[in-house]
Amino acid sequence: MSKESEKRKERKEKERAFLENGSMLLEKLIATCNGRCIPIRNFSIEELMRANNNYDNCQSLGWYKGSLEWRIIFIRFFSGREVWTGFVIHDLVISTRMSAHNNVL
């Protein structure tokens, strides 16, 4: 298999996983938020790598700290294993709901 076809296959797999995981996230958010709109921003891997200096270990405390569009951001990184998918989706839903809470930073 040529490098170009491998890259194409990898790109298609990433896109499939993004759509599949994104739909699970939206389903859970809608179910737990009674249909209220809670905006979630998506960033490309390139934007995230640029924001935190390519996941520099000096910036890591279990999370990665960075800056994007003049705002401080924190990025949680999970390995690509399928085992984490359910946990990651649940974590995003809870984090999103908590971000709108007045007593949570």
Span 24-64, pLDDT tens digits: 777 777 777 666 666 666 677 788 788 767 766 654 445 77
| CA-to-CA dists, residue 2 to 53, 69, 94, 98, angstroms | 31, 38, 42, 46
Q: What is the pLDDT, as a whole number, of residue 60?
A: 43
Predicted TM-score (pTM) of the model is 0.38
DSSP state of 67: E
Cα angle, residue 25 at apex, residues 23 and 26 outer, rounded to 5°: 65
What is the distance, to the nearest Å, from the Cα of residue 41 to the centroid of all Cα atoms in its chain?
9
Percent of the chain with pLDDT over 90: 0
Q: What is the pLDDT, as a whole number, of residue 35?
A: 65
Q: What is the pLDDT, as a whole number, of residue 23?
A: 75
9/88 Cα distance (integer angstroms): 24
